Amino acid sequence: MPALEQNGMPRSASLLRRIVAQGGLVSASRRRNFVLRALIHLVLVVGAVIMLIPFFWMISTSLKEDAYVLIFPPQWIPNPIRWENYPETLTSLPFDLFFRNTILITLTSTAGALLSCAVVAFSFARLRWWGRDAVFVLVLSTMMLPFQITMIPQFVLFTNVFGWKNTSLPLIVPNFFGIPFYIFLLRQFFMTIPLELDEAARIDGASTLTIFGQIVVPLAKPVLAAVAIFSVQANWNDFLGPLLYLDSETNFTLSLGLRATQATYRSNWPGLMAASFVTMLPLLILFFFAQKYFIQGVVFTGIKG
């Protein structure tokens, strides 16, 4: 028997044309998506190259002879390569001492920030007490005060009252009393953890400290890693704080060591770039190995308000 017809056409032929048309639409949609993704990746690659140009130029300059730094057109690949710029610069000043001072301040400050901010954020996110939200808003409002406003009162307090002049204590101790931005990040992440876990733990007899240490903290490793990276970067690159409180070269950090290098090698750009690269290298290594936790912590903090 002849095939059933629809609009004067066999149904099988109509169905075939419909399938072909749908396939063409899907293929066109895939092509558009592919072109869009290609354009997005192209823009990102171009932006990344633009952002990395100063970094590559710093490395290139650190390996040049002084006479080749300002030539035109610029010489991206040094010829000849002068590796001596690094040992000459790093031995002209006690950079090993600067590294030890910076590592000590950074590690202790980061440990204090993680401990204090995690405890305060846990209180804001998991505990119920009168005035909690109002106090949290008050803590956030302190983020609107720039350091330049509190700089002089803190300097008077730490030097005249506590007698901490020319010591690293003013750079370390304040981190043990909480930092508003880190408290905000941790509190936002803690609120994404189901409260049912706390209730189940309390039924089993767990205390608040046990819930904090054995339930919340293990689940918050991504955001704790993000806070640690933020704190390490802030303390490692801090210049104004050490400039205010540290006078003797034996207490200098790397930021002050770079300033001293600039004063010593005012026109020696290869030496300055060599010292700058060595100073920033630990942060690059840290971010390279911890970037997964850093991105997870920053993303997950915005899931729940």
Selection from 137, 106, 70 nearest residue 230 by Cα: 106
Q: How would residue 303 be classed by pLDDT, with cut points 50, 70 and 90?
A: very low
Examine the domain organization and report whether 254 and 114 are in the same domain: yes
Examine the domain organization and report whether 163 and 103 are in the same domain: yes
> Tell me, what CATH number does 155's domain have?
1.10.3720.10
Position 69 in a domain: no
Position 25 in a domain: yes
pLDDT in tens, 209-228: 888 888 888 888 888 888 99
Q: Mean of the pLDDT values across residues 70-97? A: 84
Distance (Å, whole) CA 260 – CA 249? 9
Residue percentage of the chain with pLDDT more than 90: 21
Global model pTM greater than 0.75: yes
Position 78 in a domain: no
Position 171 in a domain: yes
Using alpha carbons only, give the angle 201, 110, 124 rounded to the nearest 5 degrees.
40
Q: Supply 35's token pair.
A: 């072109």
pLDDT of residue 270: 85
Q: How would residue 25 be classed by pLDDT, with cut points 50, 70 and 90?
A: low
pLDDT of residue 150: 87
Examine the domain organization and report whether 144 and 9 are in the same domain: no
pLDDT of residue 183: 92
pLDDT at 3 exceeding the cut of 70: no
pLDDT at 1 exceeding the cut of 50: no
Residue percentage of the chain with pLDDT more than 70: 86
pLDDT at 266 exceeding the cut of 80: no
pLDDT in tens, 134-157: 999 999 888 888 888 888 899 999
Rg of the chain on CA atoms, in Å: 29
Position 68 in a domain: no
Q: Mean of the pLDDT values across residues 109-117? A: 93
Examine the domain organization and report whether 165 and 51 are in the same domain: no
Examine the domain organization and report whether 142 and 27 are in the same domain: no
Examine the domain organization and report whether 143 and 184 are in the same domain: yes
Give the burial string for 77-86 (b: 16+ CB within 10 Å, else e): ebeeebeebb
Report the range of poorest mean pLDDT among 17-26, 164-173, 178-187: 17-26
Position 73 in a domain: no
Report the range of poorest mean pLDDT among 6-10, 105-109, 271-275, 295-299: 6-10
Examine the domain organization and report whether 160 and 201 are in the same domain: yes
Is the distance from CB of 286 to CB of 232 less than 8 angstroms? yes
Q: Which domain holds residue 161?
A: 86-300
pLDDT of residue 14: 62
Examine the domain organization and report whether 50 and 140 are in the same domain: no
Distance (Å, whole) CA 275 – CA 92? 11
Q: How would residue 297 be classed by pLDDT, with cut points 50, 70 and 90?
A: low
Greater model confidence, 82 or 183: 183
Examine the domain organization and report whether 58 and 138 are in the same domain: no
Examine the domain organization and report whether 53 and 195 are in the same domain: no
Q: How would residue 182 be classed by pLDDT, with cut points 50, 70 and 90?
A: very high
Position 74 in a domain: no
Examine the domain organization and report whether 13 and 125 are in the same domain: no
Examine the domain organization and report whether 117 and 244 are in the same domain: yes
Q: How many independent structural domains does the chain possess? A: 2
Q: Mean of the pLDDT values across residues 113-128? A: 91
- Averaged confidence pLDDT in the chain: 83
pLDDT of residue 173: 92
